[in-house]
Structure formats: structure tokens, C-alpha cells
Amino acid sequence: MEREKLIKAMEGILGERGVIHEREQLRTYECDGLMNYRVIPDLVVLPESAEDVQRIVRICHEEGIPFVARGSGTGLSGGALPVESGLLIVMSRMRRIIEVDLENMRMVVEPGVINLHVSNEVAHENYYYAPDPASQSVSSIGGNLAENSGGVHCLKYGFTTNHVMAAEIVLADGEIVNVGGGKANDAPGYELLGAFVGSEGTLGIATKVTLKLMKKPESVRTLLAAFGDLEEAGEAVSGIIGAGIVPAAIEMMDSQTVAAVEKTVKPGFPQAEAILIVELDGPQAEVDSQFQRVYDVCETAKASEIRIAESDEQRALFWKGRKAAFAAMGSVANDYYVQDSVVPRTELSKVLKRIGELSEEHGLQVANVFHAGDGNLHPLVLYNNENEGEGERAEALAGDIVFACLEHGGSLTGEHGIGLDKKKYMPKMFTEDDMNTMQLLRCAFDPHHLCNPGKVFPTPRLCGERPGPWKMHPIQKAGLAEMF
Amino acid sequence: METKLNVQGLEGIVENVTEATGADAIDGVQPQVVVEPETAEQVAEILKFARSEGVSVATRGGGTKQGWGNIPAAAEIVLSTERMNGIIEHEPGDQVVRVQAGAKFSYVQQSLFRANQMIALDPSSKLKEATVGGVVATNDSGPRRYKYNTTRDLIIGAKVVLADGTIAKSGGKVVKNVAGYDLGKLFTGSLGTLGVIVEANFRLHPLPEAARTVAVEVETPQQAKAAMMALWHSQVEASAIELHWGAEKKLVSALLESIPEGVEAKEEQAHVMLKSIGEVRSLNDEEYDELGPYPRPDGSGGEVVVKAALPPAELDGLIEVLTNATDRRGITANLRGHAATGIIFSGFSGNDEDALVEAVEEAREIIVRRGGSLVVREAPASFKRRVDAWGPAGDYMELTKRVKEKFDAAGTLNPGRFLGGI
Ligand SMILES: Cc1cc2nc3c(=O)[nH]c(=O)nc-3n(C[C@H](O)[C@H](O)[C@H](O)COP(=O)(O)OP(=O)(O)OC[C@H]3O[C@@H](n4cnc5c(N)ncnc54)[C@H](O)[C@@H]3O)c2cc1C
Ligand SMILES: Cc1cc2nc3c(=O)[nH]c(=O)nc-3n(C[C@H](O)[C@H](O)[C@H](O)COP(=O)(O)OP(=O)(O)OC[C@H]3O[C@@H](n4cnc5c(N)ncnc54)[C@H](O)[C@@H]3O)c2cc1C
């Protein structure tokens, strides 16, 4: 279909205000949170209902036009990167909360609804939505669903996939299907919902989502412990887990990160080789008693200092220090590359040591700040893009870190997804047969590969790709969200 | 052996090939041979063989739930996972276990208990024979799903063999992982129709130090709902909220687990919360065995066992629909269920088959209209010839067929058993 005709067809469905076709305006959508890659979409459309999406997708299906769904564009793996000569379907106008059903602790929302708005909607009744990615004030439920997003609290409460009850999906041929049981559990049939969550927009477009709400915990307690080295901090983590405690969050930062944080947001953290933040929540009696145990474990692991948050303000300060970690790196390095990989927790100290060696081999610094409870590392490779070749070296080092994690039984990604960024690494983790088997699912949902093609699975590089240094996301710059 | 099946061909692949007996029949369908492969590669060869010979394969774990689903269209080969029964890897510090599909679930749990850990699923202790593969393939659930969710939430990796012999894995052995599609979830509950599960990885939870069950006696469905809602919407964080609805006793109970101090506090709170509804007490060990969350009617509670689901807040309605449909027809129905998950299991017995069919159809009609489902778990073959085990599927049926087609185009695996007769 000619571009002009396509524009007309889209305007016929969405009206003029629902179609963006001026080159300058299209540039707004040329990348997502991973700004290394940019592709200008042919056309951007802004549907307002599932029927709109269906009609748009039908045309794509008939004309063989590839399309990509986009939520808030905060994805860090290039999942929402447009496809050249394709359509970008932006969900931001589908932001209605369709139903709040407190009796059943469920909420039905359109996919463009912002994660934090779900919790805000029911906060006055003491309920909340558990998955809390650091981007929760901007990222959309549709994007969370597609990425199976996690948050600090997912150690105890699970990921997006554990909190989505049902979804309405527009398939690549324009058919609408409802997967999952809805408000009732256990609809008979295959786990199509479980397969869809985390499929990074390659199996269809979610147009309605039923979420599980939870009662807010009765009590929350947080402590911060400082250690002489990462290993001792690691022992404390093992000790806590070994004691049968499931904290709401366990986060770790190394000395480099702490120093950077102290330079910028100044939370007044002790200068230590490693800092651990542990949060417990739940019924008061349980939390109080387990909190004491956590304290004891930290002492046994030779913590040089333990601070307990005595007020909400103090707790907020602990978290502020942790949340500022990524942004603070800007004060000690011009550029940095964020890695997101996972290792079994018992391999943490070995992998951290290996990262130290790799850092020396490549002659670049790596700062470590991570979700210690579930082994999800976010090593930050620091570099200066103005120095000839350093960008490439940083990328190579980041790649070597991924391989080290895989060698120790880990995974390519813990929460940011494969997207475009890591598809070249997929064969390091999966065999041809593994990936072909995954493709069977793709073929059942989207036989012609029109739905977000070229993501997740390795294919030749796109012509529009422009590799470049990592840059701070605008929402981060604006102070709306922290990278975590 | 009087059979068209090329048994020699099978014997070339795997050592243990035996003639099937009456005990191997599935809903009256008589298989010809039972094979017991020892490796994924052998499973692959058996499936390729079956496909080339145009015969069907019914995978079997412990055989405790072999009759779930519709009557099979065919089942020439029973592929038993019995010889693939080891724990491959358990690193307590990682809270992850990797096991072969034929391992007995109870055996795996027992060995995890020694490290003070568990897979947070509760197959009944009576079902000692159930295997990990069977647990995954059936995606059944126990009371603790209230707190820990179900198999699909706890499986973090799987190795499967497809009908064409492809051996594939997805996921891994870390809890947090979003690389690639989650095939472990897709295979959960697929009842052996997409491939043979040969390995599964689970995330583990610490074994609770202390536990107590607090129960309140109720008389009406409305009281049952009120008790469930009070517990569900509280901050007590129960591990299970269950319904027991028998002729003699009707209870809503909460399984409270934590450290000892925590359990005591929770127990006190639960007592306070429930006392306006009915008589509240903490169950002693004997009562707990009889009335607590664990025993279920599955397989023991009647000729026809159903699983019905509605949105949890409609618990009262769910009880009424099931009791109305049965009472009027002189059918005894013991109800048990996961109250706060909106799921009730019921064993129907008494009266004749016509009445049982009518009761199930009536209840299903109402429940489906209200947005839920009613699945027939176990029933005599004669009953299953009259009533579809699954009931109507939603608008996802076409997609379901396409998934089956992609994974098992020739229909080799458990044909006819699943939703929509696939
Ligand atoms: C500062 C910052 C902090 C972050 N912190 C975290 C964190 O703590 N944890 C974490 O997990 N992630 C985090 N992220 C990553 C990102 O926020 C998440 O991946 C988020 O879920 C993406 O949501 P989005 O609405 O921005 O989606 P987008 O970036 O717009 O899209 C992401 C993917 O989802 C698909 N998609 C979007 N909407 C739909 C739909 N309706 N149907 C089908 N597919 C759809 C897209 O095609 C794309 O593949 C962070 C990002 C930033 C910039
Ligand atoms: C009170 C109670 C509580 C329970 N709680 C739970 C619970 O919380 N969670 C839970 O998951 N289960 C639970 N169960 C167990 C469940 O109901 C079944 O008993 C069990 O899963 C069947 O295992 P099996 O090995 O006997 O399977 P079988 O009866 O041998 O097989 C059942 C089905 O699975 C297929 N199958 C078996 N093995 C494989 C394989 N390796 N690959 C592909 N398909 C295969 C078969 O083809 C068949 O269709 C509970 C049971 C009871 C009675």
C-alpha cells in the first residue's frame, strides 16, 4: 500500500489527530529507553480502543505491513524500536481504568495505564498492585506485561506474570482473543497467558488487562548494613535466606557506587566496601521477630555498621540512596553501559570476582549495584565516549560479563528483556532447537511475523541501526524515574 | 502379542518394552505396549518412531490421574517416565531444584524438607505416586496456592521433547529470568498434548517453622463467604483459606504459617476477626487431618469429581449452584475448595447416571454464564461419553488449536483428551 493511501486509511479509523506522519514528529518515536538504536517509523498511530487496534492490525495483515506496539517507551532493550517501513502503534491514549473490583481484589485496565496509577487508584482503601519496576511512575501496564517487568519487591511477591489474571489480545491477523481466566481462576486450556507475558510484544497487542490487587502489608521495616567487602555482604544475604526469611527486598551496592551516591544525593551512607539494604514486610509480629534475626545475621557476617530506619523519612532516605545509584554514576564517569544479567545466588561472589578481573583486562571500571536477593546484577561499565574506541571496549566488556554469568548458570536478562539489544546473545544461552521450539509458538500467534519482527530472536542487523553510547533516558533526567 | 505395532522397532530404541495389560487402559482404551525410556534422547526416538508408524503416545507418570480429560481417541504406546526419576540438581542457597519428570513428587519434597525447603505445591500426601511431570502436565493446585500460586508460577525452566523428536529447553535455574518465551508455562497444564516433559526446574520456598489452622463453623453460603472475605481482605497473610462443606460440618479454615511468634499473633487476629460469624477454634492434629485444608474429594469422593471456578467473591453463589443442582436430584455432594481462589472441588455420588449428567450440565451452564468454568475431573467412561470433560472454551479455542498444530501436527500425543477434543 502506498504511504499516502495508508495514511488515509488510518485517518479513516482514527481521525487526523490519531495519525502522525510528519517526519519531525515521527522522530519523537525513533527509539525507546535504549537510545543506542534509532529507526524512524513510517507512521505512528494512536488508537483509543481495542476496536481501533483491531482495524489497524487488520489492514497491516492484509497489506503485509509490520507493526510494533509501544507503551511509554521506557524499555531498555529496544523492544519498542520501530521497524522501518512499519507502523508504530502507540497505546498511550488507551488509559482508562475500566473496572475496580475491590471485592475480588481485581482491576481491569487498558494497556496504556501507568503502573503507579493502578496502586494510586486503590491506595485509599489500603490496596496496591505489587509489581513495582523503578519506572513505575511512567511505564505502562502493557509494556510491563510484554516485558514481564520486575521490581525491588519481586523477590517476595513475584513478577508481572504472577499478578496478571487475564488479557485481551489483538492477534496479528486482527482476531481478538481473551486469555487467562478473567476474574475466575483456572480457565481450561493451555497457559496462553503465561506464554504471552514476557513475549516482548511479538505475539500480539494487549488491549485489556486484568490485574490482581493486594492488601497493603501491616508493617514494613528496613535496615542498612555496611561491610568490609562484598563477600561479607554476600554472606549476610546467604545467612538471611538460609534462615528461611523471605525479605521484601535485598539490595547491594559496592564502594564505587556508594561514593558516587554520596557525591550527588548525599544520603549519608557509611563509606564501606559494600552496603546492603534489607526490607521486610508483612504482619507486625512476624516482621518484628524476623527483623531481629536479620540484624543478628548481619552482625555475625561482621557488619561494620547497622542502621535501622526509625521513620518513614529515614526509610525513604535509604531508598533514595539506592535509587540514585545509576544517575549518580554520571558524576564519576561520562558514559556508562548498564548490563542486566542474572546468576544463581551462590555464584554471586565468583561472578563479582570475575567481573573485577574483566574490568582490569579491558581497562575500564565497573560499578556494581544489584538485586542481591535474586542474583540480578546490573553492572555499570564506566567509560568516556570521547576517548577513541572506548565505547566499543565498554560494549565488549559488557558482553563478556553476560558470558561470565551464563558460564555460572545464569541468564541473559533478569528484567530488561532481550529486545533488539541482546538477541545476538540468545544462541549463547539457547540451542537452535530451543529457539526453533519457541518459534513454534510465534508461528501459532503470528504466522507472517508482522508483530514486532526482528526482536528477541537473532536475525541480521537492521539497516537503520546506529550503535552509540548509552544516554540517560529523558524521564530519568526529568527526575520522574530512577533506573534501578 | 497380537498387534500391528512394530514392537521390534521400539525394542531397537529402548530396552524396557512390555506388553500392556488391562491396568494400563485409559478410560477403557487399551494400549498395546508400555515403554520406559531412560533418557531424553530415547524419548525423542520413541516419539519419532510413533509418528512414523502413525500411532499415538500417552505419557504416564505415576498414573494417578491418567483418566483426566476426555476419553482418548487412541493410545497405542504408553510412555512411562518411571526410569527418569532423579533429582539432578539442588543447591539450597539458590532455592532452586532441577528434577527429572519421572521423579515422585513426594520423594522430591521429602528430600527438600531436609534442607528446610519445599516446592510450594501441595499434592495430597496420599498421592505418593504422583510424579513431577504429572504435576506439571495437570497444573492442579493445592490449598497453598492462595499464598504461593500454582505450578505455572513456580516452574522456572523445563526441558521437553516435542512430537517430532526435537529436544528443547526454556527458562533456566535462576528465579529472575526473562530471556526468550516461557515454554515451561505453556507446557504446564497441557496434559501431555504438546510434548513430553523430561525435566523441570522450580523455585523453592523456605519451609515454614510453625503452622496452625484456625476454623470457623458456618451454616450458610453467605456466612462462608463472609468468613472467607474477612480473612482474604485482612493483613493476616494466611497461606491457605479453605472451604469444607459436608453434611455434618461446614467450615472455613485458614492455614497460618510463619515463625512461632508470628503464628501466635496471626491466630489471635483470626479468632477476633471470625468470632462474629460462628464458633471459632484452632484445629487439633486429628481434626486437621480430617477437616483441615488437605484432604480433598479427588478420586475418593464420588463417581464424578468436578472442579468449579467463579470469581472468589461469588463463593456463596458457587456453593448454591452446586448444592442446588445436586440436592434436588438426590445426589450427595461433598464440597471442598480453595475458598479465596474461588475454586471448589466436589465429588458427586448417588442416584443414576442420567441424574449425574443433568446435575453437571445444569451447574456448568450457570457457572459458565457467570464467567467461570466447570471441569469434570474424574468420571466413568460411560459418563464421559455423554459430557465433555472441559466444557466450552472461550474465544481462544482457535488459537489453542493452532498451538497444538504447531507442536504436534500429526496428533501423536494424547489425542482427543484435551480441550475441544484436541
Ligand atoms: C529509568 C528506568 C528504570 C527502569 N526500571 C525497571 C525496573 O526496575 N524493572 C524492570 O523490569 N524494568 C525497568 N525499566 C524498563 C522498562 O521500564 C520496563 O521494561 C517497562 O515495562 C516498559 O514499559 P513501557 O510502557 O515503557 O513499554 P515500551 O518500552 O513502550 O515497550 C516495551 C515492549 O513492550 C511492548 N508493548 C508495549 N505495549 C504493549 C501492548 N499493549 N501489548 C503488547 N506489547 C506491548 C513493546 O512492543 C516493546 O517490545 C526501567 C526503565 C527506565 C528508563
Ligand atoms: C489433594 C491434592 C492436592 C494436590 N495438589 C497439587 C498441587 O498443589 N499442585 C499440583 O501440581 N498437583 C497437585 N496434586 C497432584 C495432581 O492432582 C496429580 O495427582 C498429579 O499431578 C498426577 O501425577 P501423575 O504422575 O500420577 O500423572 P499421570 O496420572 O501419570 O498423568 C497425568 C497426565 O499428565 C500427563 N503426563 C504425565 N507425565 C508427563 C510428562 N512427563 N510429560 C508430559 N505429560 C505428562 C499424562 O499424559 C496425563 O495426561 C494434588 C492432588 C491432590 C489429590
Residue B131 is classified by DSSP as B
Q: Which of A417, A435, A443 sits opposite B178 (nearest CB)?
A: A417
Question: How far is ligand 2, taken at its centre, from the CA of residue B140, in Å?
Answer: 7
Least distant ligand from the CA of B130: 2
Q: Does A292 touch chain B (CB under 8 A)?
A: no
Top mutation candidate among A77, A91, A139, A470 for ligand 1, by most atoms within 8 Å of CB: A139
Q: Could you tell me if residue B60 is left (phi over 0), alpha (psi between -120 and 50 degrees) or otherwise beta?
A: beta
Distances (CA, A) of A315 to A267, A279, A311, B246, B394: 11, 9, 6, 49, 47
Rounded to whole angstroms, the Cα distance separating B252 from B229 reads: 10
What confidence tier does B248 reach under pLDDT thresholds 50, 70, 90?
A: confident
Atom of ligand 1 nearest to the CA of A94: 41
The three cell numbers of residue A225 are: 548494613
The three cell numbers of residue A29 are: 518515536
Give residue A397's pLDDT. Answer: 95
- Helices and strands (DSSP H and E) totals, chain B: 14, 19
Rounded to whole angstroms, the Cα distance separating B102 from B150 reads: 20
Give residue A380's pLDDT. Answer: 94
Q: Could you tell me if residue A400 is left (phi over 0), alpha (psi between -120 and 50 degrees) or otherwise beta?
A: alpha
Rounded to whole angstroms, the Cα distance separating A233 from B17 reads: 54
Rounded to whole angstroms, the Cα distance separating B8 from A299 reads: 67
The three cell numbers of residue B113 are: 524438607
Contacts of A139 (CB under 8 A, 6+ apart): A71, A72, A74, A114, A115, A133, A149, A481
Section B145-160 average pLDDT: 96
What b/e readout covers A255-281, taking b as 16+ CB neighbours within 10 angstroms?
bbbbbbbbebbebebbebbbbbbbbbb
What b/e readout covers B140-153, taking b as 16+ CB neighbours within 10 angstroms?
bbbbbbbbbbbbbb
Residue A445: in which H helix or E strand, if any?
Answer: helix A432-445
Whether residue B366 has pLDDT greater than 50: yes
Distances (CA, A) of A334 to A203, A329, A390, A391: 38, 8, 11, 11
Distances (CA, A) of B400 to A249, B194, B394: 38, 11, 10
Ligand 1 in contact with A371 (CB < 6 A)?
no
**With 0-12 CB in 10 A as exposed, 13-18 as middle and 19+ as buried, what is A432?**
exposed
Rounded to whole angstroms, the Cα distance separating A126 from A218 reads: 10
Taking residue A3's Cβ as centre, other Cβ atoms within 10 Å add up to 11
The three cell numbers of residue B168 are: 528443547
Rounded to whole angstroms, the Cα distance separating A10 from A14 reads: 6
Closest listed residue to residue B99, CA positions, set B68, B78, B130, B141: B130
Question: How far is ligand 2, taken at its centre, from the CA of residue B112, in Å?
Answer: 19
Distances (CA, A) of A250 to A234, A247, A326, B367: 11, 7, 17, 43
- Write out chain A residues lying below 8 Å of B375, CB-based: 188
Rounded to whole angstroms, the Cα distance separating B189 from B184 reads: 10
CA of B3 vs chain A CAs: smallest distance (Å): 34
The CA-to-CA distance between both ends of chain A, in Å, stands at 43
User: Percent of chain B having pLDDT more than 70?
Assistant: 95
Q: Which of B180, B393, B395 sits opposite A176 (nearest CB)?
A: B395
Rounded to whole angstroms, the Cα distance separating A372 from A335 reads: 24
CA of B26 vs chain A CAs: smallest distance (Å): 20
Closest listed residue to residue B158, CA positions, set B126, B197, B118, B112: B197
Section A229-244 average pLDDT: 92
Q: Which of B176, B183, B237 sits opposite A414 (nearest CB)?
A: B176
At A175, the amino acid letter reads: E
Whether residue B384 has pLDDT greater than 50: yes
What confidence tier does A469 reach under pLDDT thresholds 50, 70, 90?
A: very low
How many angstroms from the chain centroid is the CA of residue B160?
A: 19
Whether residue B30 has pLDDT greater than 90: yes
Ligand 1 in contact with A31 (CB < 6 A)?
no
Residue B419 is classified by DSSP as G
The three cell numbers of residue A422 are: 541482546
CB contact under 8 A, B399 and A444: yes
Contacts of A117 (CB under 8 A, 6+ apart): A97
Interface with chain A: mutation pick from B170, B181, B229, B395, highest number of A CBs within 10 Å: B181
Least distant ligand from the CA of B242: 2
Whether residue A473 has pLDDT greater than 80: no
Q: Does A289 touch chain B (CB under 8 A)?
A: yes
Residue A82: in which H helix or E strand, if any?
Answer: none
What confidence tier does B65 reach under pLDDT thresholds 50, 70, 90?
A: confident
The three cell numbers of residue B110 are: 521429602
Residues composing chain B: 422
Give residue B154's pLDDT. Answer: 97
- A133-155: per-residue pLDDT in tens? 999 999 999 999 999 999 989 99
- Write out chain A residues lying below 8 Å of B233, CB-based: 105, 215
Least distant ligand from the CA of A417: 1
Section A204-227 average pLDDT: 97
The three cell numbers of residue B255 are: 492455614
Atom of ligand 1 nearest to the CA of A200: 49
Least distant ligand from the CA of B69: 2
Ligand 1 in contact with A72 (CB < 6 A)?
yes
Closest listed residue to residue A86, CA positions, set A45, A34, A143: A45
B155-161 and B167-171 beta bridge pairing: antiparallel
Residue A460 is classified by DSSP as P
ipTM of the complex: 0.96
Are B61 and B134 contacting, i.e. CB atoms less than 8 angstroms apart?
yes
Section B42-59 average pLDDT: 97
The SS3 assignment for B19 reads strand
Interface with chain A: mutation pick from B98, B162, B176, highest number of A CBs within 10 Å: B176
User: Which residue of B lies nearest to A289 if distances are taken between CA atoms?
Assistant: B261
Q: Which residues pair with A280 in a beta bridge?
A: A221
CB contact under 8 A, A286 and B390: no
**With 0-12 CB in 10 A as exposed, 13-18 as middle and 19+ as buried, what is A24?**
exposed
- Write out chain A residues lying below 8 Å of B312, CB-based: 104, 183, 185
More confident residue, B279 or B248: B279
- Write out chain B residues lying below 8 Å of A147, CB-based: 178
**Segment among A112-116, A185-189, A414-418, B348-352 with least mean pLDDT:** B348-352
User: Which residue of B lies nearest to A179 if distances are taken between CA atoms?
Assistant: B396
Residues composing chain A: 484
Greatest Cα-to-Cα distance within chain A, rounded to the nearest angstrom: 71
User: Percent of chain B having pLDDT more than 90?
Assistant: 85
Closest listed residue to residue B181, CA positions, set A366, A199, A333: A199
Whether residue A433 has pLDDT greater than 50: yes
The CA-to-CA distance between both ends of chain B, in Å, stands at 30
Ligand 2 in contact with B58 (CB < 6 A)?
yes
What confidence tier does B394 reach under pLDDT thresholds 50, 70, 90?
A: very high
Q: How high does pLDDT run on average in chain A?
A: 93
- Write out chain A residues lying below 8 Å of B186, CB-based: 190-192, 194-195, 441
**Segment among A193-197, A338-342, A431-435, A461-465 with least mean pLDDT:** A461-465
CB contact under 8 A, A192 and B312: no
Ligand 2 in contact with B121 (CB < 6 A)?
yes
Q: Which of A187, A414, A437 sits opposite B394 (nearest CB)?
A: A187
Residue A340: in which H helix or E strand, if any?
Answer: none
User: Percent of chain A having pLDDT more than 70?
Assistant: 95
Contacts of A200 (CB under 8 A, 6+ apart): A77, A79, A146, A147, A417, A418, A419, A452, A455, A456
Q: Does A430 touch chain B (CB under 8 A)?
A: yes
| Dihedral sign (CA A46, A48, A53, A55) | negative
Rounded to whole angstroms, the Cα distance separating A245 from B180 reads: 30
Question: How far is ligand 2, taken at its centre, from the CA of residue B83, in Å?
Answer: 17
**With 0-12 CB in 10 A as exposed, 13-18 as middle and 19+ as buried, what is A292?**
exposed
Question: How far is ligand 1, taken at its centre, from the CA of residue B42, in Å?
Answer: 42
Q: How high does pLDDT run on average in chain B?
A: 93
CB contact under 8 A, A434 and B169: yes
- Write out chain B residues lying below 8 Å of A442, CB-based: 181
Least distant ligand from the CA of B61: 2
**Segment among A245-254, B116-125, B129-138 with least mean pLDDT:** B116-125
Q: Could you tell me if residue A409 is left (phi over 0), alpha (psi between -120 and 50 degrees) or otherwise beta?
A: left
Whether residue A242 has pLDDT greater than 60: yes
Rounded to whole angstroms, the Cα distance separating B262 from B91 reads: 28
Closest listed residue to residue B391, CA positions, set B414, B413, B421: B421
Are B158 and B200 contacting, i.e. CB atoms less than 8 angstroms apart?
yes
Whether residue B68 has pLDDT greater than 60: yes
Section A25-40 average pLDDT: 92
Q: Which residues pair with A140 in a beta bridge?
A: A114
Whether residue A470 has pLDDT greater than 80: no
User: Which residue of A lies nearest to B367 if distances are taken between CA atoms?
Assistant: A184
For residue A163, which phi and psi values (nearest 5 degrees)? -125, 5
For residue A322, which phi and psi values (nearest 5 degrees)? -65, -45
The three cell numbers of residue A6 are: 495508508
Closest listed residue to residue B313, CA positions, set B249, B218, B221, B410: B221
**Segment among A79-93, A321-335, B207-221 with least mean pLDDT:** A321-335
**With 0-12 CB in 10 A as exposed, 13-18 as middle and 19+ as buried, what is A479?**
exposed
Rounded to whole angstroms, the Cα distance separating B60 from B319 reads: 34
CB contact under 8 A, B170 and A192: no
Residue B197: in which H helix or E strand, if any?
Answer: strand B196-203
Rounded to whole angstroms, the Cα distance separating B1 from B7 reads: 9
How many angstroms from the chain centroid is the CA of residue B272?
A: 34
The three cell numbers of residue A401 are: 560479563
Whether residue A294 has pLDDT greater than 90: yes
- Write out chain A residues lying below 8 Å of B235, CB-based: 215-218, 283
Q: Which of A190, A345, A441 sits opposite B190 (nearest CB)?
A: A190
Task: Mark out the alpha helices in A123-271 (DSSP H runs).
Answer: 141-147, 154-157, 192-196, 230-242, 255-264
